[in-house]
Chains A and B, each alone.
Chain A
Amino acid sequence: MSAGKVLGMIFLAKIMKNEYRDSVFLMRINDQVERMPGVKRAAVMMGTDANKDLMKEAGLYIDQVKDAGPNDLVIVLEADDKGSAEEALSKAQELTSKVERETRIEEEPYRSLRSAVAFEPDIDLVLISTPGEYAYREAMRSLLLGKHVMVFSSNVPIEKEIRLKELAERKNLLVMGPDAGTAIVSGVGLGFFNVVKDGPVGIVGAAGTGIQEVSSVLGLSGVGISAAIGTGSNDISETIGGKTMLMGLNMLDLYDGTKTITIISKPPSKSVAEKVVQKAHESKKPVILNFIGNEDFSPSGNVDFAFTLEEAAYKSHLKATGKEMKLADWVNPDKLKEVSDMLRPDQRFVRGLFSGGTINYESQAIFKRSGRSVWSNSALDKSKKIGGFDNSKDDTFIDMGSEEYVRGVPHPMIDFRFRKERILKEAQDPSVGVILLDIILGYGANMDPASEIAESVSRVRAFNKSLIFISSIVGTESDPQDINKQVKTLTNAGVIVTPTSARAADIALKIIERRWKA
């Protein structure tokens, strides 16, 4: 080690013989040392001629460096004082001999679908649940990459849905959605779904909760599902022409594991209905068409029709197994009579607060069949449409999963806030006799919905003893929520619980029309 002094500055150098280091490695150390307090300049480099030139340029080429060779590590420091120079020198030596330990290389997540597919080309299907305005592009990209798609996202403009489905048709790919809540493909549930075993019934549905209810009811009665294809709610419109529904029907027809095909949707436009019925007739398999609440068709050949979801499940069960469906009933008739007796004469209306759009629609159809046309934000009768966030009159059924209720908040299957507020509000209306509800279990849903409803009921009981609560529950014994516990919690709270939405609507109808009265 040697030190020189020029104009009050300290120079300190160290030559480390035969200590080769990579130049970039040394540049980093050079940089670190130069940043130390009191250090003016530093050269930490191999003693090559090129580097000596650099040192000359920098004014760091002191006598001692002259003897350094290309394999010698040179450290030269210019500092304000001896202490700083020595400290920097020792730091430089420490750093040059330090072995950096490699940190764990973490897997970087894929930032785009393109890179996911580039690295994992065996991806078959893409599930898209981005906000609606971004979903089209992701779906288009999936198709361009040759992948089937399920678009859970809603609010995708219909002209974009057409573009997606036209491309999918050309590429023989399936587009489920947009606005497809539920699907089960080869045993994999997507979006909101209930856990069912593999089995003979294949479902195509434009109605998410409809698919959930039919698959759950079949599940509870011991019949499995080979696939459930959600088409999205717009698919059956005139504009889209049922492209996904027809393709899904075709896929199930071709798949040997499917013995019976069940189609669930609100009644499609006339031309779509005709296409679907025709396609159903071309199938080799029994087809149950459940255009909810529709009585225009009559069974012929391999095609049969169902009015309610429960009826669809019943007929599918019969076709698939040759046996009648036995579904447990949790309702005690004595209890029904008891609660009916408590109704005051002025309690003449039913208020339905649903999380399932299909269930809302089916309940209206059941009421309409008995001559009660119901007000709704998603009305079966166009003349009975009711607007506003919390308006109701006479019989009113609200689909609380529709757009105005889910803007910026989770779906009512997950978040019960709005439903609970609405229950309290309806309970204050003396003309209301029955609150009709649905509860959906399964993946994606609230983990303890029964307690949410039970809490509301107990708050209502503080000021309203005669109001009757009826709720259907959609779920299976394999769902993450314990269905038996959910039923028990509701029953204990005084809620009448049914395993299908049709039964719940039916009971509500009979109670409000005083048909249970002795």
Chain B
Amino acid sequence: MSGQSHTRSLRFALLTIPVLLLAIVWLQTRIDVDTRTIAQEKEELLVRSAPLLKKLSLGYESLLADIYWTRAVQYYGTNVMLPGHKFELLWPLLDITTTLDPKLIVAYRFGAIFLSEPLVGAGRADLAAQLVERGVAANPDDWHLDADLGFLYYWYLKDYEKASAAYLEASKKPDAPVLMKMMAAEVAAKGDSFAASTAIWSEIFETSQDPAVKKNAFQHLQSLQAQQDLLALDKYAEDYRQRNGRYPATTKELYETGIISGIPLDPAGIAYVFGPDGKAQLDPKSPVILDKAAKRSPR
């Protein structure tokens, strides 16, 4: 008897459960439509205090950091598709992620990209630099973060001094490629910090065992020397113009008027020349190659 009753209730369950499930799914779709018309779902970050979240995590802050990082990636990925995206929650999400797990290097590196990119990101390179600086402080042995910081200062913030310092810092860290030191020198030169750039390239030249790196450093040192000479000659040419009403055609003219005490030669031993606009130039025969960054604006 009880066997029959069991079979009956089993049959009843098998019949009714799928029907009820279908009804529930249908109902949910209706509810979704209604709630969408009531209010647009807005992304919110209920707790913005990272230290508070860390306390509330009861020791599971690493896992929570992974969740917040995934949320940040999803937030970026969703918003980047929208026209006129603003990424208002990006910084708080990254702030929380990196406070919960200061060793989550991927969050600093990709987070900085999301924050700094002007077209497909928040366009906040200042916040990106702040984020990466925190990463550097929390992960002092990781050269990638210093390199990223150098890039942010160089490319977006145009602070060549800080960029050079960041690249130089990266070069001192374990496993950093020699390229970091080169970048430091390159960037310092772009910012007209000849002394810093020369010092770094000289060190690379003296310490590197790689002939190609050595040759590259030598060329940069020659370029730096030439750049400094050209800038000085430009000033002398201006003095010459004020006295004579025209720019000098050769360095010899400067020498003859007593503005300079000798004929300056470039690192290859060839005299500099002046262009029609009165700007000092390398002689076209000179083998010295100027860095692209060293190009000066015409008068």
- A associates with B: no
